[in-house]
Amino acid sequence: MRPRIREEGSLLKTFTPDAAATLGGPDWLRARRRAAAERFAAGSLPDATEEIWRYSRIGELDLDAYRPAPADEAGAGAASPELLPEGTGDRAALVVVQNGRPARIEVDPALAAKGLVVADAADLPDGDDLLGRTSVVDAFTELNTAFLPGVTVVRIPRGMVIERPIVIVHHLDGDGVASFSRTVVLAGESSDATVIEHQSSADVAAFSDPVVELDVGDAANLRYLNVQDLGAKVFQVGYQSSRVGRDATLRSSVVALGGDYARVRTDSRIEGKGGTSYLTAVYFADGARMHDFRTIQDHAGPNSTSDLLFKGAVSDHARSVYSGLIRVRKEARGTNAFQTNRNLVLSDGAGAESVPNLEIETNDVVCSHASAVGPIDDEQRYYLESRGIPPEVAERLIVLGFFSEVLDRLPLSETVTGLRATIVRRLAERASHPGPSGPPSGTAGA
């Protein structure tokens, strides 16, 4: 049996209801924290025997090795220009989140005058009503609520079209710090916008528990990109949830390049008739990193569509996990749902797991899933090397070509250019410090 959090000798001595009660803020936020902290303390930590945590490294997490960031640390360095990701200079709004706390907020005055809201929920009169609209409650979303220092809210009014991106930059600093960021995006009916989040950290041992909620109103169009480039000693357990309304479209993408263990659970619920959810991800892990993705494409509305494409590569002793579920509920007739996960294993010591699943409760649907894990195709490698291209350059070209199908779908070409350069640099670093290589063992299926 898993240990209960309140038990003597359990993992949790730091993140207690008493500790959550010391955090400031408006009464409604303090009340939310207190209730979440009590539920968290009364529950149990997950472990790898649960299907949603299978293959994970959750057993390695020692929460008592971390502490919430003090308020006086949360704003340090918020104005540092080096925190801003490449290709996001021309923006509609900017939020810099330091150790989980929104520390700097800038909004184009013309857009603010038309109703665009980018703010900390603590500063909004209806802030209490904006949290938890889409998220599923589990141990780590409760922990996030219990210790969140602030909530970044992006509210796009009905009918507003925003051509430039809204950029949210997260930076984690301080050894032993735990960060609990929360982002809530509310896209009003018939609105159109792009939101980009970028996660980075100093070279510190830290814990990150981010929660993202995306609420896409009827006929709205929301593009969302999360770039995770955390340091090599950061343990992350992230969660993203979305609700897609009638005739609405969500295009949500994740690029994962950093962290020690970096997990993201993505739940996308297509509630409205004719709603569409596109989910994409690119991940590259080297050294001893591990990327862990769990997804649910949950169809509740009729004639709805979801299309998932996740592509990853692992080298050295790195590992990746993908586990996905397409769920089609009884009322969701006419659903079209697709799920594809493909992985390149570049070294003998690396490995990848891919587990797609279907759960269909009605007829008149079109659903499919496919997965593959394996090495670089020998014919592709031979074709390039036979034309005088060095082996390490050939590998780089093949991996970039493999990722291009996803990278080409990301918003903002300037951002994609920077991501390609980062992947090239990481592959070049691998070539200069080669680990075990050769044709790895793998599995493939469809």
* DSSP secondary structure letters along 203-258: S--EEE--EEEEEE-TT-EEEEEEEEE--TTEEEEEEEEEEE-TT-EEEEEEEE--
Nearest to 351 by CA among 383, 386, 313: 313
- What six digits make up the tokens of 131? 């949290």
Residue 93 near residue 111 (C-beta atoms within 8 A):
yes
Task: Give me the residues paired with residue 267 across strands.
Answer: 241, 296
pLDDT at 432: 66
- Per-position pLDDT tens, the chain of length 446: 444 454 444 546 889 999 999 999 999 999 999 999 999 999 888 999 999 999 999 999 999 999 998 765 544 445 455 566 666 678 999 999 999 999 999 999 999 999 999 999 999 999 999 998 887 779 999 999 999 999 999 999 999 999 999 999 999 999 999 999 999 999 999 999 999 999 999 999 999 999 999 999 999 999 999 999 999 999 999 999 999 999 999 999 999 999 999 999 999 999 999 999 999 999 999 999 999 999 999 999 999 999 999 999 999 999 999 999 999 999 999 999 999 999 999 999 999 999 999 999 999 999 999 999 999 999 999 999 999 999 989 999 999 999 999 999 998 888 888 899 989 888 888 766 654 444 333 333 33
pLDDT for residue 134: 80
Under 8 Å CB-to-CB from 243, ≥6 apart: which residues? Answer: 133, 134, 214, 215, 216, 269, 271
Please give the C-alpha separations between residue 374 and each of 4, 305, 396, 398, in angstroms, as whole numbers: 40, 29, 16, 13
What are residue 198's phi and psi, to 5 degrees? Answer: -130, 125
Report the alpha-carbon angle 36-41-44, nearest 5: 110
Distance (Å, whole) CA 120 – CA 151: 5
β 182-187/152-156 pair status? parallel
Predicted pLDDT of residue 82: 59
Contacts of 264 (CB under 8 A, 6+ apart): 226, 228, 236, 238, 239, 240, 254, 256, 292, 293, 294
b/e per residue, 370-407, with b = 16+ CB within 10 A? ebbbbbbeeeebeebeeeeeeeeebbbebbeebbeebb
Phi, psi of 82 (to 5 degrees): -70, -10
Q: Output the pLDDT for position 431.
A: 66
Residue 371 sits at φ, ψ, to 5 deg, of -145, 155
CB atoms within 10 A of CB 327: 20
Instruction: Look at residue 426 in the predicted model and tell me its pLDDT.
Output: 86
